[in-house]
Amino acid sequence: MSENILEIKHMTVTLYENGGEYKVVNRISFNVGKGEIVGIVGESGCGKSMTALALQDLLKNHIKVTEGSMMFDGKDLRTISPAERRQINGSDMSMIFQEPMTSLNPLQRIGTQVGEVLLLHGKHSREEIEARTLEALEMAGLPDPKRTMRMYPHELSGGMRQRAMIAMGIIARPKLLIADEPTTALDVTTQSHVLNILKRINEQTGTAILLISHDLGVINMICSRVLVMYAGKIVEQGRTEDILKAPVHPYTKGLIASIPTRRMKGASLASIQGRVPPVTEEKPPCPFASRCDRADKVCFTEYPGRKTISEDHILWCHHEL
């Protein structure tokens, strides 16, 4: 049995638009160990959400996984039947999003929405669902679960709504929880509460977590490893500690230099000039070359091969150290 809950190899996600084909995610490979918390970091438009949506089979019709294998718990998500896939989504693998207000139904009580996840599976009695709903709300850090169950989304604060979303994400006891910018809309204090809750859930239930954020400071709070993404590619990956102490890729260095000044999703980086190119733009073999102060001819003509800095620390750049 593999020690990894998720093994992604050469995954490409292609966008079909106006007669063109564009790779929004370009041959990325990574693993998530059972019970591990892994981060994906990168600026706005780098393909983080596309990666998450591809894993959950939630891509829109004009966007498709076109290459690679996606092994989840020993099964290839690309080759299993739609019925098997539905079985996994929302139970063994679940996802929480950034905007709790748009993901929650304003007309339904919190308890009903959280419990509905189990109701859909059809395997649980009413009493069981109620008990599990209370347990999930409690684990997600809602102080008075019995009362919260009866409330409507608008009666909760932003932080409470995000906790309710977390409860929905964990009620089926997933093996992997994908959290796409779960704290970006929250103030800094609430953000760290929510991250602590995710960490505690990981420790108590052993669920692996894939945490997506544009902020390395957030990643650093709970992730043991991090993948740095730029324009659809992973450019560097390693243990969070190593990446923060000894980053090698010029893009990672730029992300780190901008940690204290940058809290806004979508804001440009203080320390790197320019912006992430749109997917429709032709990119050089090293996608970062046009913004990189170390770039020379080779970056525009050859694809940077994979380099191993240490066992866990991998880099895709022509200019090592």
Ligand X SMILES: Nc1ncnc2c1ncn2[C@@H]1O[C@H](COP(=O)(O)OP(=O)(O)OP(=O)(O)O)[C@@H](O)[C@H]1O
The residue within the footprint of ligand X, chosen from 4, 6, 45, 88 (CB under 6 A), is: 45
**Three-class secondary structure of residue 147 per DSSP:** helix
- CA nearest neighbour of 75 among 2, 171, 177: 2
CA torsion through residues 295, 298, 300, 306, sign: negative
> Is 132 or 214 the residue whose CB approaches ligand X more closely?
214
- Quick one: DSSP state of residue 21? E
CA angle 203, 205, 211 (to 5 degrees): 65
Task: Report how far residue 210's alpha carbon sits from residue 178's, in angstroms, rounded to the nearest whole number.
Answer: 5
285 binds, among Mg ion, ligand X, none (CB under 5 to 8 A by kind): none
| Using rule CB under 6 A, residue 49 touches ligand X | yes
The minimum distance between CB 44 and ligand X, in angstroms, equals: 3
Say if CB 46 and CB 276 are below 8 A apart.
Answer: yes
Q: What does the DSSP assignment read for 208-244?
A: EEEEEES-HHHHHHH-SEEEEEETTEEEEEEEHHHHH
20: phi then psi, degrees, rounded to nearest 5? -105, 165
Contacting ligand X within 163-222 (CB under 6 A) = 214
281 binds, among Mg ion, ligand X, none (CB under 5 to 8 A by kind): none
Contacting Mg ion within 10-49 (CB under 5 A) = 49
Pick the piece of the chain touching ligand X (CB under 6 A) from 46-54, 77-85, 281-289, 309-317: 46-54
222 binds, among Mg ion, ligand X, none (CB under 5 to 8 A by kind): none
| Using rule CB under 6 A, residue 262 touches ligand X | no
| Using rule CB under 6 A, residue 47 touches ligand X | yes
Pick the piece of the chain touching ligand X (CB under 6 A) from 47-55, 154-162, 166-174, 196-204: 47-55
The minimum distance between CB 77 and ligand X, in angstroms, equals: 18
Contacting Mg ion within 169-198 (CB under 5 A) = none
Only one residue has tokens 């809290």, namely: 263
- The 3-state DSSP composition of the chain as helix, strand, coil percent (nearest 5) reads 35, 25, 40
> Is 21 or 84 the residue whose CB approaches ligand X more closely?
21
**Three-class secondary structure of residue 53 per DSSP:** helix
The residue within the footprint of ligand X, chosen from 5, 8, 46, 164 (CB under 6 A), is: 46
| Using rule CB under 6 A, residue 278 touches ligand X | yes
177 binds, among Mg ion, ligand X, none (CB under 5 to 8 A by kind): none
| Using rule CB under 6 A, residue 15 touches ligand X | yes
Say if CB 96 and CB 184 are below 8 A apart.
Answer: no
Only one residue has tokens 């370009």, namely: 26
Residue 193, H or E segment: helix 188-205
Cα distance from N-terminal residue to C-terminal residue, the chain: 37
Contacting Mg ion within 194-253 (CB under 5 A) = none
| Using rule CB under 6 A, residue 279 touches ligand X | yes
Residues lying near Mg ion in the complex (CB under 5 A) are found at 49
Residues lying near ligand X in the complex (CB under 6 A) are found at 15, 17, 24, 42, 44-50, 60, 214, 265-266, 278-279
